[in-house]
Amino acid sequence: MKIGVLALQGDFVEHIEMLKRAGAAGIEVRLPPDLAEIDGLIIPGGESTSIGKLAVLYDLIEPIRKLAETQPVWGTCAGAIFLSKEVHHQQPVLGLMDIVVRRNAFGRQVDSFETDLNVPALAAGAGEPRPFHAVFIRAPLIERVGADAEVLATLPDGRIVAVRERNLLATSFHPELTGDDRFHRYFLSLRR
Ligand code: GLN
C-alpha cells in the first residue's frame, strides 16, 4: 500500500518511517501530481499556518479535497488543524472534517507533555489494548465534533484528542514520534 505524506513542512520523515514499520510505503507529496496513485494521505505535525499557506501556493487544496472523497486522510496535530472545518484563527484549512479545534490549547511550547491514553479502537483481538503513549507538542484541542464522529481518545478530564469521521482521522498528538505503530496500522485499516 502506498500512503502519501504531505511534505511541505513538519515531521513528514517520521511518518514515512512509521509507515514502513507498519508495512506500507510512504510517498512524499509536494505537488498535485504526487497525489496520483496513493491509497491515503497523512498530514503531519508542524505549524498549521505554514502548511496551509504552502498548500495554497502549490494548488493542493482542491486536489486533497477530491482525494478525501475516496481515500482515508489523517491529520496529526497541525495536520488535524488543517483538516478541520473551523479553527479560531484566520488561516487556510481544508475544511474537510466536521470538528472545531483550538490551537495551542494546552499552552506554550514549554507546556508540551506526554501521557498514556486508553484507545479502545486499537484493540487487536480480545481484551483491553495496552495504553497508547501520546506526545503533545503545543497541541490543539478538538473542542467539538460532528454527528458522524467516533471519539477515539480523550484525556482523563474528557477533553477530546483523537477522532474519526468516516475515512477521516484527527489526532491532537503525534503517534509518529513514539515507536508504536498501532495508530498507523489503524489508519491503514480505514482504507475501503
Ligand atoms: N502549534 C502548532 C499549530 O498550531 C501545532 C503543533 C504541532 O503540530 N506539534 O499549528
The predicted-structure confidence for 116-132, as pLDDT tens digits, reads as follows: 999 999 986 556 678 99
Residue 37, domain extent: 2-189
pLDDT at 192 over 70: no
- 137 CA: nearest ligand 1 atom: 9
Question: Of 77, 19, 15, whose CA–CA distance to 50 is shortest?
Answer: 77
48 in contact with ligand 1, CB cutoff 6 A? yes
78 in contact with ligand 1, CB cutoff 6 A? yes
Handedness of CA 164, 191, 8, 83 (dihedral sign): negative
138 in contact with ligand 1, CB cutoff 6 A? yes
pLDDT tens digits, 59-110: 999 999 999 999 999 999 999 999 999 999 899 999 999 999 999 999 888 8
Q: In which region does residue 65 sit, left (phi positive, over 0), alpha (psi from -120 to 50) or beta (all else)?
A: alpha
| Cα→Cα distances 62→30, 57, 65, Å | 14, 12, 5
For the ranges 5-9, 27-31, 177-181, which has the lowest average pLDDT? 177-181
Q: Active site includes 69? A: no
CB atoms within 10 A of CB 116: 10
Question: How many domains is the chain partitioned into structurally?
Answer: 1
Question: Of 40, 61, 44, whose CA–CA distance to 170 is shortest?
Answer: 44
Which of 15, 77, 165, 184 is labelled catalytic?
77
Q: Active site includes 77? A: yes
Q: Active site includes 128? A: no
Task: Please tell me the distance between residue 137's alpha carbon and the centre of ligand 1 in angstroms.
Answer: 7
What CATH number has the domain bearing residue 175?
3.40.50.880
